[in-house]
Structures are given as C-alpha cells and as structure tokens.
Structure 1
Amino acid sequence: MNVSKIGHSNIFNLGWGALAGIAITLTNVTPSFAQSTLNLGRNFRPDPATLDGNAGGKVSIASIAGIADNCRGFANAKPNHTITLTETFPLMDFLIYTGNINDEPTMLVKGPNGIVICANGEAGGRNPQASRRLPKGIYQVWVGSKNINHSFDYTLSLSEIRQK
C-alpha cells in the first residue's frame, strides 16, 4: 500500500512539474500580433519617441477606419501600437520610417471622439506623416502596406514638433 502511495505521489509531483514547465513555456511565447504601448505627456523626453514594429497584413485599412478617404493599404486586424496621451497636445506628429524604398507604408490612427487619421507616402514623400492637435485619450495606430500581405519592419516616430 505504501508503494502505491509513493508511486501516486511521484506521478502527482511530476504532473505539477510538467504543468509548471508548460506555464513557463507559454509565458515566454510572444504572439506575432503583439502590440506595443506608450504613455506620453507634454514635453516628453526623448523627443521624438520611437516605436518599432512589423507592418502589413490582409485587412483593408479603409475597413478598419470605417471611411475610405485617403485610407489605403492593408494591415493586421489588431493595431500595432496603443498610445495614451495624458494631456491635450497642440501638435502631435506621427511619422513612419522604413529601411527600403519599396516598402510603401501606410498609417491609420484612431482616437477618442471618432478621430480618424489616415496617411500614406503620396502627399509629401514616401514616409507617411500626420500632424495635428490631439486631445488627451487613447490612440490606436495601424501600420500597413499598399500591397496585401507585404510585410516589413518600420519605426514610428512621435514628436511635439513637425518632423522632416
């Protein structure tokens, strides 16, 4: 009888050990759709603040935005970044940089009170840029590509002054 208790106890301990190992393994897995978050107040440093990510996807940015006006390209369904502005900014400048001239990035920013900002590189160069007064609140940013399922790395630069 003692032998069966010892055997059962060992199986139980191995079971918990295995479960702990699985839990540790699962916590170390980063999903490909993970987004980064950033909180900004006025006069933040360093300025510009930068966030890196991977652009592209298969969902139409116009469908995510809910409008078609200048909302071009394709992104993932989930936003790449969530940015919380803790104060109203007289000017917030969003600028996307890529390392390859053929990447053709696009950008969508959705914020409180129905704010929708779309940008692509057609207006003032190849890097999408949007500058405007923004109230405090939570903003979601999608970075896409003009071509469906075209993936590439980028840097999102955020500044209180218009960037060049």
Structure 2
Amino acid sequence: MLHLPTPDATAKLLASLLGRPVKVGAGKVDDAKLTIAGTYRSGDIANAAMCLMDAGFGAYAGAALSLLPVAVATGYVKKGRLEEDILDNCGEVLNVCSRLFTSDDQHRVTLDTRHFAPEPLPPAATALLAGGKRLDLVLDIDKYGSGMLVLAVPG
C-alpha cells in the first residue's frame, strides 16, 4: 500500500520542479472545485493513488513551469478551466507528483490517466475522496498564486 507524503515534502518537490518557493498555506479544500485529476498505477494496481487540483493550482503551477506571465494564469483561474497552451504543463506537474507516492519498498508509481475539466472526474477519484486517506493542501506558488491540491491513496 502506498503512503501519503508530508506537506513539507510536497512543497519541496513542487518548489524544485517550478524553480520558485512553494509554501503550504492556510485554508480549506473545497472538493467541488477539484477539476483536474491524475490517477497513478503501482505495478499491476490501477488507481493506487490520485492527485487532484483546482484550476487555480493547475494554472499557476503550469504557468510557473514554463515562465508564462501570471496574468495568463489568472485568466485561466477566472475561466475556471485550462486550455491547450497550459494543459501539457499541468500534465507534467501531475507526472512529477508520482514521486510523492514512491518509496524504496514500493513498486514504481507512474501517472496512468489525466482528467481535465470539463471532463468529469473519474469514479475512482470520487471514491478516493470519500473513503481514502487524503492530504489536503492549499499551496502558494511564489509570485503566481495559490490553489488547492489533494493527494489520496486507498484507505
């Protein structure tokens, strides 16, 4: 069984990827706003873990990854969904987040599927949100903005 990372380990990995500080902020995650999901496979096990985020975190992280202006990301946040020019970057963030679930005694964890609004979240995401172990975070990306991120594994 996979384990959840700590908030600090999550912020550290994302800061390394994005090349700027990422801080764990205060706030509550609103599940209804989680519109982006990545499901992860571990060995033969599908849906072994999941990473969900709102449009804010997806937009700011995607923009920071390729140094797009913050105004571009803010435009996506206002729309509530991402478009092609930033989806690949957001997908890369999901891909790198697989490392958060990997440990020395576990199988390799890889990104299996990606889901972006307006596509509905997969049923496995709803099930993990309701009954799995989860780490809810509000993360602030320096000079970009903040958003919600949830990491989940089966209970």
TM-score range, shorter chain: under 0.3
TM-score (norm 2): 0.24
Bigger strand share: 1
Higher normalized contact order (CA 8 Å, seq sep 6+, divided by chain length): 2
Larger Rg: 1
TM-score when scaled to structure 1?
Answer: 0.23
